[in-house]
Amino acid sequence: MIRSIRPLAVASFAGRMAVALLLGGSTLLGLGGCRNEMYDQPRYDTFEPSVFFEDGISARPLVAGTVPRGWARQDEHLEYGREGGLLVDSFPFEVDEAVLARGRVRYESFCVPCHGGLGNGDGMIVQRGLPKPPSFHEQRLREVPVGHFFDVITRGYGAMYSYAHRIKPRDRWAVVAYVKALQLSQYAQVDGLPEADRQRLEQPQEAAQ
């Protein structure tokens, strides 16, 4: 009795396996067909010409006034560092201690590797062989409008790439404010300092005497 049951069990198992393989294969073929239908759907590739449109271009121009969501640039001074197309020589908001502190954080995060802590252009990657940027303390850069620094951060210059997608506009202005503070720190006149700061500078001299 046992001998007659074993071949039947084997045959039943083989039958179930065959059905499972058949169903699995059908499913894979079906999925593959769906993917091919979506992947090979009629469409235009980038820059592919078109005979449908009169201008022969498949990519259609944007509707006038269209801007990417969240990228409307209505304040030219704040967003571009320009007014009437010319670089500005003023900040779009008041520069206070909080702005300078924010600018220092952003400067140390993004600028120090190239420009160095004091803006001399001797950052770590320069010491390792990359091109040296100009010092912020050159006479030329001490005289340029503040919009120049904002424009360079925004669009890049020479070997420096754009930081527009890394630093927000207000933070870019904060960096510019800190750069101006660095410039002032190296050329500040004692007579222009507040009375308390002048006294602190004179105290070490008096103690030495």
What is the domain-level CATH number for residue 121? 1.10.760.10
Q: What is the mean pLDDT of the chain?
A: 85
In a domain, 184, yes or no: yes
Residue 2 has pLDDT above 80, yes or no: no
In a domain, 80, yes or no: no
Question: What does the pLDDT look like over 26-52, one tens digit per residue?
Answer: 666 655 555 566 667 778 888 899 998
Domain range for 106 is 89-189
- d(C-alpha 108, C-alpha 117), whole Å: 7
In a domain, 154, yes or no: yes
Number of domains composing the chain: 1
- Could you tell me the pTM of the whole model? 0.64
| Sequence letter at residue 132 | K
In a domain, 149, yes or no: yes
In a domain, 120, yes or no: yes
pLDDT range class, residue 15, cuts 50, 70, 90: low
- d(C-alpha 67, C-alpha 73), whole Å: 9
Q: What percent of the chain has pLDDT over 90?
A: 54
Query: Which residues does residue 49 pair with via DSSP β-bridges, in sequence order?
Result: 57
pLDDT, residue 206, reads: 55
In a domain, 134, yes or no: yes
Q: What percent of the chain has pLDDT over 70?
A: 79
pLDDT range class, residue 165, cuts 50, 70, 90: very high
Beta-strand (E) ranges in 84-190?
86-87
Q: How far is CA 124 from the centre of its chain?
A: 21
Q: Are 208 and 135 in contact (CB under 8 A)?
A: no
pLDDT, residue 73, reads: 77
